Amino acid sequence: MNQLEFVKLHGNGNDFILIDEMNGKRIPDDEKNEAARILCHRNFGVGGDGVLFLVPSEKADIGMRLLQPDGSEAEMCGNGIRCLAKHAWESGYVGESFSVETLAGVIPIQVRRDRGVFWARVEMGVPRFERSEIPAEGEGVFIKVPIHGFEVSAVNTGVPHAVIFVDSLDLPVDRLAPKIRHSSCFPEGANVNFVRPGEHLEVRTFERGVEAETLSCGTGSVAAAAVARRLGLVGDSVEVRTRGGPLLISFVGDRAFMEGPAVTVCRGVISDEIL
């Protein structure tokens, strides 16, 4: 694995190490989990909220795999897929409209550059509220269920999300969220979003797999908007403000769309000493 090239990108501060495997595998599949644990470490590695692998696909124009800092693989990532889209577009693999195969399905994307800033509009699919599809214990929808002193709603927007509406986001998220993230209600765990409603939504997200709060979560922003819309708190379009920046979430019928930027931070070579 000498001269393993990488690109560092971020979507609203949610940062990723991208390994381009379109022209051949750079890290063997059975070593990807451990490589992600090493590379994501902010002291001993490159540092990031995950490792994106851009791979060929037989079902879509390109494919995406996301390995998280704990070595687990996520089904989907809203900020990550925008970063992947930016690299793929700038590398000439795709045009301005294309599709990405993920573990959550095939995701259509449109990209553009506006005043020097890269933007991607991602079709996020239909948010799934049925407990069996989140997954969550029980039957029916998961709306305003009391868990550890909070009213928790849950939805799958590519990955499972718990959504909690609060009056203030001045909360010890890293202390409160793990109790809900590991609740027996969620057999596969859940990301946890604390949301302050209003003309726009303000969100803080604790991410499963990262096991910490991140500056932004794309699927979490969609989850917050989807639950708020279901409860009549917002309409078909809403700005979601994360700690790393805003995202525009909109709905056409039941289908959700996310629009936001992505930024290339740097390019480099990973030493074989750490892998």
Q: Judge if pTM exceeds 0.85.
A: yes
pLDDT, position 2: 58
Same CATH fold assignment for domains 4-124+261-270 and 131-253: yes
Options 40, 83, 185, 217, the catalytic residue: 217
pLDDT, position 3: 79
197-237 per-position pLDDT tens digit: 999 999 999 999 999 999 999 999 999 999 999 999 999 99
| Domain range summary for the chain, segments of one domain joined by + | 4-124+261-270, 131-253
Q: What is the mean pLDDT of the chain?
A: 96
pLDDT, position 11: 97
CATH of the domain spanning 131-253, picked from 3.10.310.10, 3.90.1150.10, 3.40.140.10, 3.40.50.300: 3.10.310.10
41-47 contacts at long range (C-beta below 8 A, 24 or more positions apart): 41/69, 44/274, 45/274, 46/6, 46/8, 46/17, 46/268, 46/270, 47/15
pLDDT, position 1: 47
Cβ distance 51 to 230 under 8 Å? no
150-205 per-position pLDDT tens digit: 999 999 999 999 999 999 999 999 999 999 999 999 999 999 999 999 999 999 99
Count Cβ atoms below 10 Å from residue 161 Cβ, excluding itself. 29
Token pair belonging to 265: 């931070």
Question: For residue 8, is it left (φ>0), alpha (ψ between -120 and 50) or beta?
Answer: beta
CATH of domain 4-124+261-270: 3.10.310.10
Active-site residue, 266 included: no
Rounded to whole angstroms, how far apart are CA atoms 220 and 271? 34
63-77 per-position pLDDT tens digit: 999 999 999 999 999
Kindly indicate the confidence band of residue 7, based on its pLDDT and cuts at 50, 70 and 90: very high
